[in-house]
Amino acid sequence: MFADYFVTGCRTKKGFSVILVPKSDNVETKRIKTSYSTAAATTYIQFDNVKVPVDHLLGQEDNGFIVIMSNFNHERWAMACSVIRWMRTVTEECMKWANQRIVFGKPLNQQPVIRQKLAKMISLTEACQAQLEIITYQMCNMTYAQQSKLLGGPIGLLKSYATRCAHDVADDAVNIFGGRGLTQSGMGTVAEQFHRTYKFDAILGGTEEILADLGVRQAMKLMPKAML
C-alpha cells in the first residue's frame, strides 16, 4: 500500500525477468485484510498498460529466477530468527503465569500435565535455537557462493521445523493460559497474539511442506550416485 516501487516478476521473450515498477496512475493498489496487521500493507496490485524504463531491469533479462532465489536464504533465516524468539518469549510468559496462577489452592505449575507442557515448549525452543546458531555460524563463515549452494536446504529445514514447533508452542500456551489465552489484553496478550500470527511464518517465504521437500532434495542431490 505504501510502496513507491514494486519489485515485479514477469514473463519476457525467452523466460522470466524481474523489473522495478515505479508507482504511477496506471498502478492501482487495494489493501487486503489479513489476520495479522495492516502495518504489513498486504496489497492487491493491478497494472494497467504500465511502461517501465529499460534500466529498471534487476539482474539479467530472462534470468529473473536467480534474482528471486538469491533473497530466499536470508529471508527464511530472518523469519526463523523471529519465530524462535517468539517461542522463547511465549514459553517465558507461560512459566510466569503457571507460577503465579492459583488453581484449587495451588500454583498451576503443581499440576504434572502443565509441567509436561512446559517441558515440551522448552525442549522445542532450545532445539530450534541450537539449529539456528549452527546455520548462523555457517552463514557468517561461508562465501555467498557457498551459502547459495549448500545452505538453501538446511535453512529450509530450519524454517519448516521451527514453524512446526511454533504450532505446538502456540497451542500449548493458549491451553496453559486458559481463557486468558484468548484475550488481547492482560497477561494472556503475548500467547493470544502468537497463536493468531505464528502461521504467517509457516506460510510466507515458502510453506513447511515446500521447504522440507527442498531440504531433502538438496541433501539427495549431493549424495554419491551409487553406494556399495
Distance, CA of 108 to CA of 176 (rounded, Å): 9
Tell me: do 83 and 174 sit in the same domain.
Answer: yes
pLDDT of residue 224: 84
Tell me: do 207 and 166 sit in the same domain.
Answer: yes
Q: What is the CATH number of the domain that holds 130?
A: 1.20.140.10
**Side chain identity at residue 192, one-letter code:** E
Close Cβ partners of 78 (under 8 Å, ≥ 6 residues apart):
none
Tell me: do 168 and 131 sit in the same domain.
Answer: yes
Provide the number of structural domains found in the chain: 2
Per-residue pLDDT band for 222 (boundaries 50, 70, 90) equals confident
Beta strands in the chain, from DSSP E residues, in sequence order: 5-12, 15-22, 27-31, 43-47, 57-58, 102-103, 106-107
- pLDDT, mean over the chain: 93
Tell me: do 75 and 188 sit in the same domain.
Answer: yes
pLDDT digits (tens, 9 = 90+) for 177-219: 999 999 999 999 999 999 999 999 999 999 999 999 999 999 9
Tell me: do 88 and 195 sit in the same domain.
Answer: yes
118 against 12, higher pLDDT: 118
pLDDT digits (tens, 9 = 90+) for 68-111: 877 889 999 999 999 999 999 999 999 999 999 999 999 999 99
Residue 226 covered by a domain: no
Residue 63 covered by a domain: no
* Cα within 13 Å of Cα(80), Cβ side: 29
pLDDT of residue 70: 77
Task: Work out the average pLDDT over 122-140.
Answer: 97
Q: In this structure, is the dihedral angle defined by the CA atoms of residues 183, 184, 189 and 190, taken in order, positive or negative?
A: positive
pLDDT of residue 152: 92
Q: Which cell goes with 159?
A: 524454517
Residue 23 covered by a domain: yes
Domain interval for residue 18: 5-58
Tell me: do 33 and 136 sit in the same domain.
Answer: no
Tell me: do 104 and 199 sit in the same domain.
Answer: yes
Residue 78 covered by a domain: yes
Element (H, E) at 7: strand 5-12
